[in-house]
Amino acid sequence: MSEIEIPESHPRYESLLTRHRIETGVEKGITSQQGLIAQGRGETFDYLLGERTLSSADEAARVGATHLLRAKRPVLSVNGNVAALVPEETVELGEAVGADIEVNLFNRTPERMEAIATHLREHGAESVKGLEADARIPGLDHERAKVDADGIHAADVVLVPLEDGDRAEALAATGKTEIVVDLNPLSRSAQSASVPIVDNIIRAIPNVTAHARELRDSSADLEAIIEAFDPKATLADAERAIREGQLEGM
Ligand code: PTJ
pLDDT in tens, 75-86: 999 999 999 999
Four-residue CA torsion sign, 38, 203, 64, 243: negative
Neighbours of 216 (CB within 10 A): 13
In degrees, to the nearest 5, what angle opens at C-alpha 201 toward C-alphas 200 and 205? 130
pLDDT in the model for residue 87: 98
**What distance in Å separates the CA atoms of residue 48 and residue 91, rounded to the nearest whole number?**
29
pTM for this prediction? 0.95
Q: What is the percent of the chain where pLDDT is above 90?
A: 86
CA-proximal residue: ligand 1, atom 17 (nearest): 38
Residues 6+ positions from 204 with CB-CB distance below 8 Å: 53, 57, 61, 161, 181, 197
pLDDT in the model for residue 248: 55
pLDDT surpassing 80 at residue 114: yes
Mean pLDDT across 229-243? 97
CA-proximal residue: ligand 1, atom 30 (nearest): 42
CA-proximal residue: ligand 1, atom 32 (nearest): 182
5 Cα to the center of ligand 1, angstroms: 26
CA-41 nearest atom, ligand 1: 25
CA-proximal residue: ligand 1, atom 1 (nearest): 80
Mean pLDDT across 202-208? 97
pLDDT in the model for residue 4: 66
**What distance in Å separates the CA atoms of residue 250 and residue 241, rounded to the nearest whole number?**
15
Residues 6+ positions from 240 with CB-CB distance below 8 Å: none
pLDDT surpassing 70 at residue 246: no
219 Cα to the center of ligand 1, angstroms: 36
**Higher-scoring residue by pLDDT: 57, 11:** 57
CA-proximal residue: ligand 1, atom 16 (nearest): 164
pLDDT surpassing 80 at residue 72: yes
Q: Containing H/E element for 136?
A: strand 135-136
CATH superfamily of 55-244: Phosphopantoate/pantothenate synthetase (3.40.50.12640)
- Delimit the domains of the chain by residue range: 55-244
46 Cα to the center of ligand 1, angstroms: 13
CA-183 nearest atom, ligand 1: 32
pLDDT surpassing 70 at residue 1: no
Ligand 1 in reach of 90 Cβ (< 6 A): no
Residues 6+ positions from 116 with CB-CB distance below 8 Å: 30, 78, 80, 83, 103, 105, 128
Residues 6+ positions from 181 with CB-CB distance below 8 Å: 159, 160, 161, 162, 197, 199, 201, 204, 205
Ligand 1 in reach of 183 Cβ (< 6 A): yes
